[in-house]
């Protein structure tokens, strides 16, 4: 199993949650400071930002290897849209880091969001 942090359309109740349904929800979480969300239109993108003091809110999931491979494809990892990386988790007693998807393209001109994305 792999620990995964999701912050956008994969969260429970959001339009792309079926891609992660059947995996194990662990709980709500927040990254350590140093990450920021940007509005990409119908979905958010998270990027590393050393000036951020809040982190990003989302959910932790335990996903199996086939689900992680599917999510890599869904998130456009091979196309360079997102990259799967390990990020520090701030508020989980049993998790210090988790995989997530960071937006891999330019954020120039994109509006920043607060720490939480709501669909």
Digit-by-digit pLDDT tens for the chain (119 residues) are 999 999 999 999 999 999 998 999 999 999 999 999 999 999 999 999 999 999 999 999 999 999 999 999 999 999 999 999 999 999 766 668 999 999 999 999 999 998 999 86
Q: How many CA atoms lie within 13 A of 92 on its CB side?
A: 23
Locate the domains of the chain by residue range.
2-103
Provide the CATH number for the domain formed by 2-103 in this structure: 3.10.490.10
Enumerate residues 6+ apart whose C-beta is below 8 A from 57.
7, 28, 29, 30, 115, 116
| Closest listed residue to residue 33, CA positions, set 94, 85, 84, 89 | 89
């Amino acid at each position: 199993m792999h620990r995964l942090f999701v912050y956008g359309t994969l969260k429970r109740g959001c339009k792309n949650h079926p891609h992660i349904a059947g995996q194990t929800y662990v709980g709500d979480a927040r990254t350590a400071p140093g990450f920021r969300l940007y509005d990409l239109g119908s979905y958010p993108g998270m990027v590393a930002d050393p000036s951020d003091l809040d982190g990003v809110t989302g959910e932790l999931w335990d996903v199996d290897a086939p689900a992680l491979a599917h999510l890599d494809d869904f998130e456009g990892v091979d196309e360079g849209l997102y990259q799967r990386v390990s990020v520090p988790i701030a508020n989980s007693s049993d998790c210090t880091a988790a995989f997530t998807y960071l937006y891999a393209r330019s954020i120039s001109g994109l509006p920043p969001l607060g720490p939480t994305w709501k669909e």
